[in-house]
Structure 1
Amino acid sequence: MPDDTHRFGDDRLTATVRAEGAELQSLRDAGGGEWLWQAGPEWPRHAPILFPIVGRLPGDTLRHAGQPHRMTQHGFARDSRFTWLWRDGAGCALRLEDNDATRAAYPFAFALDVEWAVAGGALSCTATVLNPGDGPLPFLIGGHPAFSWPLPGAASAEGHHLTFAGIGALAARRLTGGLLDASEYISLRDGTLPLNQSLFEKDAIVLPDFPARKLRYAAPGAALEMQWDGYSDFGLWSKPGASFLCLEPWCGTAAPLGWDGEFMNRPGATVLAPGQSRRFSWQVRPERSPD
């Protein structure tokens, strides 16, 4: 088994994760259908872990104690090599800890554990942030999995939709230069949003303080149920012309346009006291069946 990847699963679902970024690389059903975007030229990633920021900071600069630190979009975890904690036939766990390189961009002690597991035909991802230092730890965190569009078993990209039970409209924010800007409402019919590429012509759809904790991504012939816990916000994104849809549970969003302050006071940041930890999880269950 290559040291940089691990494959695991059950009789219904098989996943592959790599040490670089603790990133999910593949999610296949028993029929061989690939549910995860395969990092094509339109976007060279699959399912990055966003930490210690989600989105952008003004000028790609994190300010702490009056000092600037370079911090690019979505943080450094997605480009960092994690250490394997354990691996078996049902899953794996990996860890990233602060080091000289991370402290240059993010001057805080931290540990980020990411656990992946398959059970009962569902995939789960659990991220735990720990503060081993002697001062407060501010951070944002998010998932960024890109799922196939069209889904395996669907005849085409037409007819795909998202359903959020009990929600009549999406109170969305849009981005300008990667920063949180204009508000808009996106109407739903019976909680359902028909999907088309034009939704993403203005970049991602950001849903701050999103009340839902589950959704259904579906088309005739296939569906994917997603649920999450610990995350307060959500993002939807696709690149027009590409065959993926990102379903992104977040805790925090891009910085608001016009804000440029200390990271400790960053809107939407979670702050852990020394010795504290916080857990975040999401799960998906793919099914090939009539919608």
Structure 2
Amino acid sequence: MINLTTLTSGAFTATVSDMGAELQSLSREDGRQYLWHGDAAWWGGRAPILFPIVGRAVEGRVAVNGQGGEMGQHGFARRSVFERVDQGPNFVLHRLTASEATRAAYPSDFVLSIRHTLDGATLTVSVTAENTGDQDMPYCVGFHPAFCWPLPGGEGQAHRVVLDNGAEPPLSVLEGGYLAEATKPSPFALGVLDLTHDLFANDALIFEGGTGDGLRYGVDGGPELAFRFDNTPNLGIWQKPGAPFLCIEPWHGLAPRAGHGPEIADRPFAMTLAPGASAQFGYSVSVLGD
């Protein structure tokens, strides 16, 4: 049985599973739910953590200096049971440590710590990756939370994504799961993306950079979620076409480019940790309005 931890803060409640250290719900005390509920008829995820890759593996395999093995899309953290190492009324800390099973695919020693903190109407998710081995550790980290579309109170109203920096970043596209070299014009106009289901007919909208450190998702003058990003220069926005959710996905690392091999270090925006080093990543989401 997979355990859930309940966090409370003011009028808000969140739950987090030991499986994948994955957020399961974010709601108000009156029952309004903001996180997608994971209906497998559409997509069974809710808010998976992506490690040690973001996106697909080349022919289902990854490598570190030529050594490695089979790996599913977005890595193994989302399918791993984490140890719950600390908790309080409004936070929980989970940890995943390298094992024989992880080393079979990813020959690195690591500790991955994930903390969820609920402070009033703001949920913060932070990841610390640590290299506990004696070799350099290439890796990627990403977040994949899905939120209701429409948001509670926004039924029947147009939703949009608004970048805090007002930018119009170029669009990168996937071709067969691989990142194409050429980009396309931005779907944003002065930082505003008006959401329609047909935007996602060809998979996720991917922005390699330029989206800034924050955005808002929701209804102009209505319910909104405000996001802040920490050390995640890449952004994905995804919906399974027609599904009642929208994923806001801050990443540090991308799918492999077409024609490249399985080395994790060759993936765009992949990072390398020296032995004994660590790095932090995160995002926060705040529920705006009443």
TM-score range, shorter chain: over 0.9
Give the structure 2 partner of residue 188 of structure 1.
Answer: 188
Partner of 2:119: 119
The 8 Å contact of residues 228 and 283 in structure 1, kept in 2 or not, is answered as yes
What is the deviation of 1:161?
Answer: 0.4
User: Deviation string for 1:164-204 (max 9, x for gaps)?
Assistant: 13334131111112111252122433321100001100100
Q: Distance in 2 between matches of 1:165 and 1:185?
A: 19
In structure 1, the partner of 2:166 is 167
Q: Is the 8 A contact 1:249 1:282 kept in 2?
A: yes
Q: Note the residue ranges of structure 2 that are not aligned, 5 or more in a row.
A: none
Partner of 1:244: 245
Which AA in structure 2 matches 1:36? L
Map 1:83-232; keep pairs closer than 5 Å: 83-156=83-156, 158-181=157-180, 182-219=182-219, 220-232=221-233
Which residue identity does 1:104 align to in structure 2?
A
SS in 2 for 1:169: coil
Partners of 2:253 and 2:267 within 8 A in 1: no
Query: What is the distance in 2 between the residues matched to 1:251 and 1:5?
Result: 27
Partner of 1:262: 263
Are the equivalent residues in 2 in contact too, given 1:235–1:249 (CA < 8 A)?
yes
Q: Distance in 1 between matches of 2:167 and 2:210?
A: 12
1:227 and 1:282 in contact (8 A); partners too: yes
In the TM superposition, what whole-angstrom CA distance separates every residue of 1:28-79 from its partner, at most 9, and x where no partner exists?
A: 0232110000001100010000000000122111123333511121000000
Q: Which runs of 4+ in 1 moved over 6 A?
A: none
Unaligned 5+ segments in structure 1 are none
The alpha-carbon deviation at position 87 of structure 1 amounts to 1.4
Q: Secondary structure of the equivalent of 2:171?
A: strand
- Between the aligned partners of 1:210 and 1:16, the Cα distance in structure 2 is 32
Give CA-to-partner distance per residue, 1:187-236, whole Å, 9 cap, x none.
43332110000110010011112341100002153000001111111100
Check conservation: 2:126, 2:281, Cα contact below 8 A: yes
Counterpart amino acid of residue 22 in structure 1: A
Question: TM-score normalised to the size of structure 2?
Answer: 0.95
Aligned to 1:13: 12
Distance in 1 of aligned mates of 2:68 and 2:230: 33
Letter in 2 for 1:34: Q
1:31 equivalent to 2:30? Answer yes
The answer to whether the 8 A contact 2:169-2:209 is kept is no
Distance change in 2, residues 1:260/1:3 (3 Å): closer
Closer/same/farther in 2, CA of residues 11 and 5 from structure 1, 3 Å limit: same
Q: 1:187/1:39 Cα in 2 relative to 1: closer, same or farther (>3 Å)?
A: closer
CA contact (8 A) 2:20 2:82 kept: yes
Q: Distance in 2 between matches of 1:261 and 1:103?
A: 16
- Paired residues, what number? 287
Partner of 1:286: 287
Q: CA RMSD in A?
A: 1.5
> Percent identity, aligned pairs only?
38
For 1:113-155, what per-residue CA distance to the aligned partner results, in whole angstroms no more than 9, with x for missing partners? 0000011320000000001111111100100000000001112
Q: Is the 1:10–1:90 contact (alpha carbons within 8 Å) kept by the matching residues of 2?
A: yes
